[in-house]
Structures are given as C-alpha cells and as structure tokens.
Amino acid sequence: MRKKGPSSSILRKAGAAFTLLLFCVPAARAQTPRAGSAGRRSELTAARYVESVRKSPPRMLAFLRNMPKGGDLHTHLSGAVYAESYIQWAADKGLCVHQATAVLSEPPCEQGSGQLPVSTALSNQGLYRKLIDA
C-alpha cells in the first residue's frame, strides 16, 4: 500500500476548490444585472413620470424623496451652494421666514403669525442655526 503524503492532500483540496469554482461562477454571472431592454424601459417609464409631475411640486417632491438620497445622487461639497449663502441671499432680497417651520415667503412679514425678516437670522444665532438645518 502506498502512503498518502502532503502533496496528495493539497491536490485533493485544489481539485475540490476548482470544482466548486466551476459551479459558482455561472451562478454569479446569472445574478449580475444587465442593462438591456428592461433597464431601458424602466428609465423611459421614470422619465415619462417626471415629465407628468413636473408642474406639480408636491408630486415631484414625493417622487424625489423616494429616490436614494432624495434624488441627490452625486454632489461635491466644493461645488454645492452652502446654506449660509441662501440665508444671505434671502436677507438681501428682504424675504420672510416662519419661525416654526423655517419656510420662506415674500414680504410683508406678518410677525403676529410667526414670520420674521430673514435678516433677523443674521443676528439671531438660534434662528440662523435652524435655517441652516432646514
């Protein structure tokens, strides 16, 4: 009888790994999504829907919020506009902001209903931070 050495064990393990690899690779390829007619159809369906809701801000907002990252898929911070700039522009235009909701509106500001000039935020740190977060 022949004694089995370490080399036969290595060959057996290599053969088993190779056999496993032969069965796994085709299965992995079958699961890879392909950009074919189905992908193109989905893209066209989404494009048609966007066009149908373009003039309806609530429906457009709902559509974008359901997208990954709220529709903001690729942004470089160096190219994005900072919230501080928007606050300054709103103050320069004399816009109003509702204290509770941080929603901007055209003047005149109805202080009795919680609206203040956005320029108030430039000296009110609490309001300023709230606008940045909004």
Q: Does one domain contain both 99 and 127?
A: yes
Query: Which of 8-12, 48-52, 59-63, 74-78 comes out lowest in average pLDDT?
Result: 8-12
1: number of CA atoms within 13 Å, CB side?
3
In a domain, 49, yes or no: yes
Q: Give per-residue pLDDT as tens, 15-72.
A: 554 444 444 444 444 444 555 667 788 889 888 999 999 999 999 888 888 877 666 6
Closest CA to 113 of 123, 103, 122: 103
In a domain, 102, yes or no: yes
* Whole-number percent of the chain with pLDDT over 70: 66
Range(s) of the domain holding residue 57:
40-67
Residue whose entry in the numeric block shows the structure tokens 């064990």: 9
d(CA 120, CA 134): 16
pTM above 0.95, yes or no: no
Q: What is the pLDDT of residue 42?
A: 83
Q: Which pair of tokens denotes residue 80?
A: 């994005």
12: number of CA atoms within 13 Å, CB side?
6
